[in-house]
Amino acid sequence: MGLQAALHLIYPPQCISCDALVTTDFGLCGHCWRETPFISGLVCDLCGTPLPGLDPGHPVHCDDCLTVARPWSQGRAAVLYADNGRKLVLALKHGDRIDLVRPMAAWLLRAARPLQQPGMIVAPVPLHWMRLLRRRYNQSALLSGALAAAAGLDHCPDLLVRRRGTPSQEGRDREARFANMSDAISPHPKRGARATGRHVLLVDDVMTSGATLSAAAEACVAAGATGVSILALARVAKNA
Ligand SMILES: [Zn+2]
Ligand SMILES: [Zn+2]
């Protein structure tokens, strides 16, 4: 009997969401899988939000991305920020469920397939150090690190830094969110140079208006990146 089989006798694999017994480690049970809104089918090429209709064979954009200039070239998201997607993101962010990083990295890897290009460098959206102290980890950096390892890409967890603490984005409308974030993120004084001449894949846990990702993407360009793509674990969709 292998070690894993022996361990499974003592610790049978459980669903990462509801603790039901499942057959493989780091998986969802059938019920929770159906309750988790994984994004598939036609999506906005800039933010990954699902769109109605069939793939027309060329990139399409959602109303938001037609209205707001996005300082990146392509974007995707793994799940909708709704139902079990929301529950799992919150468990990672506030519930110390670091064990979720591994299955989530697999979801990110699948979503990132259309974005991947050789030589790109992966970086997370940074947390301000005050918030980092309180939370002890940057969930986006855990996700970006696991994704980079799975994809065989370089990872730079501190490519970007928060220049100042920003009040919570919650309860702000779109314009206020962009104003709140402008100039809040800049390249790391030393590590920022790693983006020079390269395409950056920026990773965040949740994308709402895109204001934080915009500030981060602009900082990558300021660091000399040739291009930026963005990847969110969860996308807040208007009708979700
Ligand atoms: Zn379950
Ligand atoms: Zn979009």
Closest listed residue to residue 185, CA positions, set 138, 147, 143: 138
Q: What pTM, to 2 d.p., does this model score?
A: 0.92
- The rounded Å distance from CA 146 to ligand 1 centre is 23
The H-assigned helical ranges of 30-156 are 30-35, 63-67, 83-94, 101-112, 129-135, 139-151
Distance CA 14, CA 7 (A): 12
Would you state the pLDDT for residue 240?
A: 45
Per-residue pLDDT of the chain (240 residues; tens, 9 = 90+): 677 777 677 777 899 999 899 988 889 999 999 999 999 999 999 999 999 999 999 999 999 999 999 999 999 999 999 999 999 999 999 888 999 999 999 999 999 999 999 999 999 999 887 788 888 889 999 999 999 999 999 999 999 999 877 778 888 888 888 888 878 999 999 999 999 999 999 999 999 999 999 999 999 999 999 999 999 999 998 754
d(CA 75, CA 87): 23
Cα–ligand 2 centroid distance for 9 (angstroms): 46
* Nearest listed ligand to the Cα of residue 13: 1
Cα distances (angstroms) measured from residue 37 to each of 84, 123, 199, 240: 7, 25, 29, 10
Find the 235 Cα to ligand 2 centroid distance in Å.
Answer: 10
Non-local CB neighbours of 162 within 8 Å, separated by 6+ positions: 126, 127, 128, 129, 184, 185
Q: Report which bound ligand comes closest to the CA of 22.
A: 1
Give me 112's structure tokens.
């990132």
Distance (angstroms) between ligand 2 centre and the Cα of 18 equals 32
Report how far ligand 2's centroid is from the alpha carbon of 121 (Å).
23
pLDDT of 215: 95
Distance 235 CA to ligand 1 centre (A): 21
Residues, Cβ < 5 Å to ion ligand 2? 44, 46-47, 49, 62, 65
| Gap from CA of 46 to ligand 2 centroid (Å) | 5
